[in-house]
Amino acid sequence: MTSQHPSSDRIAALQQAERERFMATHPASLALTDAAHAHYLFGVPLHWMRDWPSPATLFVNEAQGVTLQCADGLRYTDFCLGDTGAMFGHSPAPLAQAIAQQAAHGLTCMLPAANTVAVGESLARVFGLPMWQMALTASDANRFVLRWARAITQRPQLLVFDGCYHGAVDDTLVDLDPATGHTLARPSVLGQVHNHAHFTRVVPFNDLAALEAALVQGDVACLLAEPALTNFGLVPPEPGFWAAARALCRAHGTLFVCDETHTISTALGGYARANGLAPDFLVVGKAVAGGLPCAVYGFTQEVAQRMRQAKQAAPEGHSGIGTTLSGNALALAALQAALTHLHTNASYAHMLALAERLEHGLTERIEHAGMPWTVTRLGARMELQFMPETPRHAQDVRDHARSELEALTHLFMLNRGVLLTPFHSMLLVSPATTAQDAEQLLQVFDALLAALADP
């Protein structure tokens, strides 16, 4: 059987049929989409919520475990899970109980709650770093860490990988010019007035020579990186890459900031702990408190001492680090419940075993159908990639991505009760995902392959 993508005409015809099917079966979501435009830009509270391939926004009534129910009463098995925010499932009982109990006793005081010490001990136990601070989102945590890193090193430059994702951090919203190797301002970013390309260097992932060339000038405060690229498709590190990269950072006095917001799906404590990366700073958001807005950043004792010295040497006044609701009592309660009941060996044992079975099922079907596609997995997270092999860096994704095939796959599966992550075809397995859920996805994938094969 030949390895060849389906024709563009076939994909377009199927996409049109799926759009019509969605509109026929979702009258309530269609009506809500129209009505929401009266008070919400693009008809949604966050404009990303329109970045799904459906002809109207899917409005949700309820989310429990891995099941969503939309405004039309239809049910979906959720493999998106809020793009990792609900990685442990929607509203796990221990989390819901902790939030409800705390809500009756105060939400925020701008003072530490009595469980603060216990939460700190749990963070150290799960993630392996001794010292911590809190924020509301990983974007905030990354911003604050960048300030700390520049303050304690007295260096201006930031280093990131091409295709990185660190939330809405201005310094990281830059691209690599493949022709020159220079940093470019990202044209899609709105309202830019500062040239972040002057203070951020971008290098290809998995490229040690480029990494060393960026560090050798001795002016890079920190390398801010995910252990694997996760928002530009899934691009894993090559064997030995991180050991060499960490050695380069140490040799050139550059701090390593590990953003585990997505790669927390790798193992209990995240990729860095499972693979001995020993970061100077660690950032975790989204799923860390079960999906309640909360993020944390941890650091070593040596870094903590340098942070204290930088703060004590600075004049009195706002440091530019922190927001009023950071570390609020509700977030601490949710975080404590999540660290106790969700971040467990049992959770990950189930997630990883079922993800491996799902990966095998998808790969087997792709090979049988003769499609030039691949599946790349990192723990409980995997990516259906419409390219013949796992990408090595972001440019591989740019060169081989098939956006029209991704859009069809999303909508085809959504119309049959399976939800994937928008922007890219990511699947996430949670402790609440069952073997039956995985089998449902595989059956719908079989139907997609059959539809693509029809003349």
Residues 6+ apart with CB under 8 A from 79: 66, 418, 419, 420, 421, 427, 428, 429, 433, 441
Residue 224 has, within 13 A of its CA and on its CB side, a CA count of 34
**What local confidence, expressed as pLDDT, does residue 131 receive?**
98
156 to each of 71, 217, 223, 302, how far by Cα in Å?
49, 12, 12, 21
What is the band of 181 on the pLDDT scale with cuts at 50, 70, 90? confident
What is the band of 455 on the pLDDT scale with cuts at 50, 70, 90? low
Residues 6+ apart with CB under 8 A from 369: 1, 449, 453
Q: What one-letter code names the amino acid at 265?
A: S
**What local confidence, expressed as pLDDT, does residue 307 receive?**
98
**What local confidence, expressed as pLDDT, does residue 4 receive?**
82
Task: Say what the pTM is.
Answer: 0.97
Q: What one-letter code names the amino acid at 92?
A: P
Stretch among 120-129, 253-262, 446-455 having the lowest mean pLDDT: 446-455
Cα(409)–Cα(137) distance, rounded to whole angstroms? 30
Q: How many CB atoms lie within 10 A of CB 276?
A: 10
368-384 pLDDT tens trace: 999 999 999 999 999 99
380 to each of 43, 88, 362, how far by Cα in Å?
33, 11, 14
**What local confidence, expressed as pLDDT, does residue 1 receive?**
47
Helix (H) or strand (E) holding 176: strand 174-176
Share of the chain above pLDDT 90, in %: 93
Residues 6+ apart with CB under 8 A from 316: none
**What local confidence, expressed as pLDDT, does residue 2 receive?**
47
146-165 pLDDT tens trace: 999 999 999 999 999 999 99
Smallest CA-to-CA distance from 280 within 254, 260, 261 is with 254
**What local confidence, expressed as pLDDT, does residue 195 receive?**
83
Cα(132)–Cα(121) distance, rounded to whole angstroms? 10
Q: What is the mean pLDDT of residues 91-115?
A: 98
16-63 pLDDT tens trace: 999 999 999 999 999 999 999 999 999 999 999 999 999 999 999 999
**What local confidence, expressed as pLDDT, does residue 111 receive?**
97
pLDDT for residue 347 is more than 60: yes
Q: What are phi and psi of 311, to 5 degrees?
A: -70, -40
258-275 pLDDT tens trace: 999 999 999 999 999 999
* DSSP notation for 305-327: HHHHHHHHHSPSS--S---TTTT
pLDDT for residue 114 is more than 60: yes
Cα(64)–Cα(83) distance, rounded to whole angstroms? 16
Residue 124 has, within 13 A of its CA and on its CB side, a CA count of 11
Enumerate helices (H) and strands (E) in the chain, giving the number of each. 14, 16
273-332 pLDDT tens trace: 999 999 999 999 999 999 999 999 999 999 999 999 999 999 999 999 999 999 999 999
272-285 pLDDT tens trace: 999 999 999 999 99
Q: Which parts of 186-305 are beta strand (E)?
A: 200-203, 220-225, 255-259, 281-284, 295-299
* DSSP notation for 62-84: EEEBTEEEETTS-EEEESSTGGG
Cα(366)–Cα(3) distance, rounded to whole angstroms? 10
SS3 call for 134: strand
